[in-house]
Structure 1
């Protein structure tokens, strides 16, 4: 578990860096994240037979708010 905690700490530090925050709020990040999130949503819905489409859509919306410039 210590390895996981170390990775989590590094990820948090990375995401709190001002340059990283700026990059995540860019137009390019928005375009890329939209494509990735759409593909992930489609893949999960296909794999689950759309059983969780509502939850998957909600998760996608939450993720989309966190990345890009909307």
Structure 2
């Protein structure tokens, strides 16, 4: 039983050490960072929710720019 608790604790600890996930509104406020994340995602260095959220922010910014021209 102690081994099970130790293994479960180790798994939780390792899972908590992953990259922090930022939402689209964060990347909208930090557009330069969002563009860097998108590039890392395209090159395969990153994947997951941050890629999706950063891409959404970059796409929204591009659309706003097109509409204001």
TM-score by length of 1: 0.30
Tell me which protein shows more helix as a share of its residues. 1
Structure 2 length as normaliser, TM-score? 0.30
